[in-house]
Amino acid sequence: MLNATGLTKRYGDVAALDDVGFELNAGEVLAVIGANGAGKTTLIKCLMGLVKFQGNVTVDGIDVARSGPAARRKIGYLPQNPAFHTDLTVAETALFYADLKRVSAARAHQLVETVGLGEHAAKKVGALSGGMRQRLSLAVALLAEPMLLVFDEPVAGLDMPARLELRRLVLEQRDSGRAVVLSTHWLEDVPYIADRVLALERGKCAFLGPASESAAAISPLSRLYLRLNGHTPDAIGIIQEAAPAGAVARSGDWLVVRCKALDKAMVVERLLASGIRVLDFRVEEAPAETASSFHDLTHEGDIR
């Protein structure tokens, strides 16, 4: 359904995407993850044919660069913040977009029911919850019966009930045979809704594979603060063995360990097993959207 090879996009000297490639079949969900600036938005613009790029992207066999309008007719796009007129009702909104896409009013009404908004058809869009707006966005995206859906950061600003509702929507579309590309920075959602994961890091592919194997590769960073009873030089060596990709710095009486979240327990266990007492500790978790990189954990002041 979707195939990308050698996908590269540069803005001046900056490579927003650098030789990214993947394929997506019908009935599969691909989660695209990465920190801010990793290239997620640029990737979606390329898949939609909204910017010029190097490489090749096809949607159901149609070349996006050469036949953008034809390819986009195969795609249902759900933006992060749907720009609906808040003074229109749900039904009026669906009919408005049906007219733009030259789709029958009957299909618009049917989709409002399909996405579970039948009882809210007369409600103004401005009065809808975040989850309901996403459902309305899905109804609009499905008007032309696309076989590929592209979700761009759909959970931004949603509370947990709305996020759970969105999970159900994604799975429903996968089960109906549609291919789904889901751009998200909420890593905890990925195992529940994705079949495969594409992790972008500074425009490059850092991981591409099954969602079940992605946890170790895409684990966000933690900052572990340790106050020890001396033996700091010994402790540094032990820490670097337990978390080889990590970095260690001093901050007053504390050792500050920047490592993958999955490694922090191992660090403490190794120190205790070596007879080094941990007098105090605390942990700061770094969300994926603020982490500068999945793998580059070094910063000024690190002990290498």
**Structural domains in the chain plus CATH codes:** 2-218 (3.40.50.300), 221-285 (3.30.70.980)
Strands 196-201 and 29-33: parallel
Task: Provide block-wise average pLDDT over 10 residues at a time, the chain (304 residues).
Answer: 96 94 96 88 94 96 94 90 91 96 94 92 93 88 92 72 79 92 82 91 90 70 82 82 78 83 79 88 63 38 42
Query: What local confidence, expressed as pLDDT, does residue 134 receive?
Result: 82
Q: What is the C-alpha to C-alpha distance for residues 27 and 56, in angstroms, rounded to an integer? A: 22
pLDDT of residue 220: 62
User: Is 236 in contact with 256 (CB distance < 8 Å)?
Assistant: no
Q: What is the b/e burial string over 24-59, where b = at least 16 CB atoms within 10 angstroms of the residue's CB?
A: beebbbbbbbbbebbbbbbbbbbbbbeeebebebbb
pTM over 0.85: no
pLDDT of residue 103: 93
According to DSSP, the β-strands at 221-228 and 196-201 are unpaired
Tokens of 39: 């290239």
**For 178, which DSSP code?**
-
